[in-house]
Structure 1
């Protein structure tokens, strides 16, 4: 594995105490998942409304996508909107849905030029039509791209995903029973094929910003053996050097998957 660009182009002015040359291309995680947290606090610290924080966070999303692609990450999953976020104030939710649509339409051509494939996980049926359409158009435009896959988790919840998979399996089992097919136990691989991430490898690294120590119903099945990196940086302030810190931390880990090395 090699970087898609020279390191001095990916990280042009590295802060003191950080060595980009220490990054080993062979140890770049194939799949990075990000819980983007802190937009509201960022806005509050500046006396602004919460939506201003979400808008500011778009720059961090753009920076992270480009950096992840340049260093060779194959899958980048971002937690954009959870199934519980509908509980937020109506004007914030409406503003977020509008922001998702506008941002996706504005960014898709650039992502396409970078050969990024865009897909979503979660229950898109509950999204407003223009938001749902924007994501559908992005998928249609980029679906054949062979670069990094950007996975946008929108109206996503880990428990809801697991319940959908369990219900799908139950319906299949009932249909087979009616047809006289003998019962066969469901193994992990069979269960995973019913998840939203059926065609996506499990995350190697999960990054959470703003210093919070919780999973927030994110990829509950998939992160069973993921490495975690928590930073106090609020999401709008997260940049490629914060991403580099996470990657360097990751390559110093020893992953045992329940065994011993």
Structure 2
């Protein structure tokens, strides 16, 4: 059995490797404009967020659930009187989300190129299956990954399963992502390293406090800093903290 301290690195996709939330924000603005005759924009956004929070357990993460939450919100703020045409428009802007271009974030490719072949790289993402597969294909980053896991949610159990399946368990694994709630905190709970890469537009429902006291928590400005961080950890410079 290998004695390497790290063998598997998991990467989140949306807003870690490529832009995503900005397209939801643009769609939300279009949604507010559709309902401008019925409610103030801020109220529409508040109701939409409430609907998304309620519906996560039913529809999961992704565009389909977001579109259904928009329709539900339109029914609420119009007391069920939303015109059929507006519902059709909501469906249209939801479908447009499925066509948005894939814009890779700074240093995503550079980091993957530096780590490929040295570690087992696995993409761990949640959301609509077809949409995630589309974005991965259009990103041009697919060949860097040794495995892809599209999951319904990210929990400590999820990470234990994936890192056990593709490696020697979470103790020799790392998860990298922009969401503290989904990528970092549950990875830490599983026993893995958790590396936070902030994104300015991270969805509000993914916000939690930074686990700054966790020995295996790290934060970097962007993915360009990841190879050096990993080299440092694997060299034993911070072995006492691990």
Q: Fold-level match, TM-score > 0.5? A: no
What is the TM-score with the length of structure 1 in the denominator?
0.38
Larger relative contact order (C-alpha < 8 A, sep ≥ 6)?
1
Higher helix share: 2
What is the TM-score with the length of structure 2 in the denominator?
0.40
